[in-house]
Structure formats: C-alpha cells, structure tokens
C-alpha cells in the first residue's frame, strides 16, 4: 500500500467534491422576519416584531409615557380600535354617537384599550362625550402628542345609573388622543366628538379679552366646561370706580350650590374683590382704583357638565362726585333729581337738605332699585335707617339734615335720586323713629 509522507502537501481538490456534497445535503433553517411572524396579528399597543420567530410586541416612547401595556392581542372578538398612535381611530368632528367596545381577552391579565386621535385648531373648544352603557366602570383619558396624560381635562359623573364622561376643552393646535378603558370590565359604550368652535375668551392674563373692546351693552360669556376660566382685562384710571357683573339664567331645579364665581385681580395677581352666587342671582365685583394700572376679571363657572352661558356687563363709573362724609355733602333740593354713582362696596354718598317740621319725606330712584339709606342729624346720629324703597321720614323740627346712601348687593351702582316732599302729615302724628 502506498503511504503519503507525513510532511507531504495534500491536494485539497481531492476532497472538494465530497465537501460540496455534504454541504448540499445539510438542512437549511430560515427564521421568520417581522412581517412573517406578525402576519394577521395585532398588538394591544406598540409594534409587533419577530423574536427568534415568535411574535412579540414592543412599546415605543409614546406607549411608555402613556403607560400602555404592549402585548400580542388575543380577544374573543376582533379589536375594533387600536391602542397606539399608528393604530388609533382618527376622528373628524362631528362624530357620533357611535358604539365602541372594550373586548374580553382570552389571556389572563390582558386588557383592551381603545385609542382615538383628532387634530385640533388653536383655542377651539372640543367635547368628547362617553357613555358607559354596558361598560359600567369604564373611563377616559386625554393624552397629548407625546403620550402625556392631560390632567383635569375630563369630567366623569354618573347620570341615570350610567357612568358618563364629557370634556369640553380649549386646546392648542395639534394632535390629541382620547383613550377609553374598561377598569377591568368589558362591554360596549357610546362616544362622540364635537368641535364647538373657538373659545370666546382667553384663559390666561396674556389671552385676556380687553374690556375696552367690549360693547357697553351686556355681552355673553360661554362656560364651555366644568371650572371653565374666562379672563378679561382693563386699564383703570386713578380714582375711577369700576364694576363687572354677570348672571346665569335660572334653571329648574335651581342648583343648591353656587354656580358662578368672579374675581377681580391686580396685575400682580393679588386679589382685589371676589363674589359668587347661584343661577338667577346677579354676581358683581368692583373697586375704586387707587392708581392707574391694569386689572383683570376672572369669570369661573361651576356645575357645568355641558355648555352654559352668562350675561355680563362692565362699567366705568368715573370719579366719585359726592362726598363720603357730611363735610362736603352735596345739597339736595326736594323735587330736583341728582345723579348718584356708587363706585364700590365701600362708597358712601352723602347729601344735605333742610327738613321742615311736620313734613313727610320719601325717596324716588330711577331706575327703581334697592340701596341703603339713612337720615342723620348734625351730630351724625341716625334718625331713620331703611332702604330707598322703604324710607319715609318726618322731622321733629325744622333744620339741616343729611341723607347717606350706600350700595346693597347685588344692586346696580348708577341711578337718579329725587328727594320727595310729600307735604304736611295729616295723620295723628309723626311715624315712630326706630
């Protein structure tokens, strides 16, 4: 037998056919790619990918920020709405009412989430209304374009045994998402989205509506949602009095709680005046400006599950034309009308007149109103105290007297006053003085 020397060079070409034959006979294993592994599957949220041939779901930045679970979906009924921005159902208002469904899962611990997307115009007001129907404990969340939850923009309450969420909000321009979830339950719900147009007044000092641009006649303020905030601004002249008032129409039944709140604020944010009231009650704030400066009025509505309106007005009452004290009091002649403007809650306007013994005096105001009034003697003692509608007075002696007027909430601040000399009293004697 011929042997090959130990150190001889072996010709590889001798073995090449055998190696090629063995290679051709070895089995080939191809791992499915993402498209193949994920074909026909859907994620509860996130993106499906192939993990060694097995489909899995991976959360992206948006889903992680929103706290979305990302799993291969396995529901008893096909998932009607996706849970990620790429799979969200796009809404072009007006939409609905339309039925949606939180589906039951075949896998323990897996939950269905429905995500809706819509594009808002700047400062437009949008209403997303959700009614639970079968989904008794369901709820909604509003998320921004990065997946952050927008806190305080969804109001949830129970009506007729059904959980209802409605939010009417003024939003910045861009893409927004509404998530509907089941809180561990499954079932159907109804939803709708409405664009209610541009918010009529801004929510910040920078967006406040200048009151000098508002007509002097009453104007409407729309309360778009619970705790809606509408801001107005004006430039105050030194020693001028200002008054801002609003009234919401009376509803039936009348709410027991206060439904409208006003705040008058300095440019620094310091509170100057505040007032609140229920539907059907005039609510007003005002002041006498100590210096020329900018001021703001905040109108905030409460108990507003849906749209409501108030009728408001603003008045520049000018400078105080009557003294607050007997010294400098404005002379008042019976039968001669005098214009009266009460610039603030603290304002007092004092008038002087000569009362004749045995004569009866009363007050006439136009328009008719309800202001505080009292008659004072030269020492400042009160001889008669009532409101302008009820005040009558009969002096015990002829001599100088003073009439002091003050505001009674929520009365107007501008009116015409006439002192009426009814003449001698023909009755047995003067009315008793309290």
Looking at residue 102, which CATH number applies to its domain?
2.60.120.380
More confident site: 138 or 164:
138
Examine the domain organization and report whether 314 and 412 are in the same domain: no
Residues 239-262: tens digit of each pLDDT: 999 999 999 888 766 667 788 899
Predicted local distance difference test score (pLDDT) of residue 151? 76
| SS3 assignment, position 18 | helix
Examine the domain organization and report whether 216 and 261 are in the same domain: yes
Residues 10-44: tens digit of each pLDDT: 344 443 444 444 444 445 557 788 889 898 888 99
Count of C-beta atoms within a 10 Å radius of residue 192:
17
Instruction: Please give the tally of structural domains in the chain.
Output: 3
Question: How many residues belong to the chain?
Answer: 434
Structure tokens at 41: 């599957």
Examine the domain organization and report whether 96 and 137 are in the same domain: yes
Residues 120-129: tens digit of each pLDDT: 988 888 888 8
Q: Which range of residues forms the domain containing residue 184?
A: 77-198
- The average confidence (pLDDT) of the chain is 84
The residue among 273, 293, 319 that closes a domain is 319
User: pTM of the prediction?
Assistant: 0.66
Q: Are strands 260-266 and 219-223 parallel, antiparallel or unpaired?
A: unpaired
Mean pLDDT, range 391-420, rounded to an integer: 90
The residue among 319, 346, 371 that closes a domain is 319
Residues 176-201: tens digit of each pLDDT: 999 999 888 889 999 999 888 887 88
Mean pLDDT, range 352-376, rounded to an integer: 93
Predicted local distance difference test score (pLDDT) of residue 212? 81
Residues 310-337: tens digit of each pLDDT: 999 999 999 999 999 999 999 999 999 9
The residue among 299, 319, 339 that closes a domain is 319
Residues 287-301: tens digit of each pLDDT: 999 999 999 999 988
What is the DSSP secondary-structure string of 244-255?
A: EEEEPPP-SSPP
Helix H segments across 197-327? none
Predicted local distance difference test score (pLDDT) of residue 420? 96
Residue 5's contacts (CB-CB under 8 Å, 6 or more residues apart) are none
Helix H segments across 221-356? none
Predicted local distance difference test score (pLDDT) of residue 273? 94
Q: Does the pLDDT of residue 114 top 60, yes or no?
A: yes
Confidence band (pLDDT; 50, 70, 90) for 134? confident
Instruction: Say if 242 falls within a structural domain.
Output: yes
Examine the domain organization and report whether 170 and 214 are in the same domain: no
Q: How far apart are CA 365 and CA 157, in angstroms?
A: 47
């Amino acid at each position: 037998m011929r042997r090959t020397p130990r150190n001889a060079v072996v010709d590889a070409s001798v073995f090449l056919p055998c190696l090629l034959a063995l290679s051709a006979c070895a089995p080939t294993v191809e791992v499915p790619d993402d498209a193949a592994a994920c074909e026909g599957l859907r994620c509860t949220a996130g993106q499906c990918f192939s993990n060694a041939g097995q489909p899995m779901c991976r959360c992206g930045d948006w889903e992680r920020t929103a706290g979305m679970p990302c799993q291969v979906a396995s529901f008893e009924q096909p998932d009607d709405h996706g849970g990620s921005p790429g799979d969200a159902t796009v809404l072009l208002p007006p939409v609905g009412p339309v039925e949606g469904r939180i589906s039951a899962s075949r896998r323990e611990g897996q939950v269905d989430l429905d995500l809706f997307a819509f594009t808002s115009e700047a400062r437009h007001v949008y209403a997303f209304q959700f009614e639970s129907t079968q989904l008794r404990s369901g709820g909604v969340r509003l998320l921004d374009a990065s997946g952050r939850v927008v806190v305080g923009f969804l109001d949830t309450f129970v009506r007729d045994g059904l959980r209802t969420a409605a939010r009417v909000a003024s939003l910045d321009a861009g893409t927004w998402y509404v998530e509907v979830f089941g809180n561990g339950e499954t079932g159907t719900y109804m939803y709708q989205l409405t664009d209610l147009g541009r918010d009529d007044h801004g929510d910040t000092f920078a967006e406040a509506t200048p009151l000098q641009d508002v007509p002097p006649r009453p104007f409407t303020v729309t309360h778009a949602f619970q705790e809606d905030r509408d801001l107005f601004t004006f430039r105050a002249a030194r020693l001028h009095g200002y008054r801002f008032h609003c009234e919401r129409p009376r509803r039936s039944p009348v709410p027991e709680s206060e439904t409208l709140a006003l705040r008058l604020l300095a440019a620094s944010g310091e509170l100057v005046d505040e007032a609140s009231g229920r539907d059907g009650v005039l609510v007003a704030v005002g002041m006498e400006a100590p210096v020329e400066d900018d001021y703001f009025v905040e109108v905030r509505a409460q108990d507003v599950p849906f749209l409501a309106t108030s009728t408001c007005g603003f008045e520049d009452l000018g400078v105080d034309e009557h003294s607050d004290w007997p010294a400098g009091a404005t002379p008042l002649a019976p039968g001669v009308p005098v214009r009266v403007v009460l610039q603030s809650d603290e304002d007092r306007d004092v008038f002087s007149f000569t009362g004749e013994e045995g004569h009866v005096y009363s007050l006439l105001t136009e328009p008719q109103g309800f202001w505080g009034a009292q008659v004072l003697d030269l020492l400042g003692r009160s001889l008669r105290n009532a409101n302008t509608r009820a005040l009558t007075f009969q002096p015990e002696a002829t001599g100088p007297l003073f009439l002091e007027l003050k505001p009674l909430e929520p009365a107007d601040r501008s009116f015409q006053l006439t002192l009426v000399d009814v003449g001698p009293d023909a009755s047995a004697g003067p009315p008793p003085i309290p």
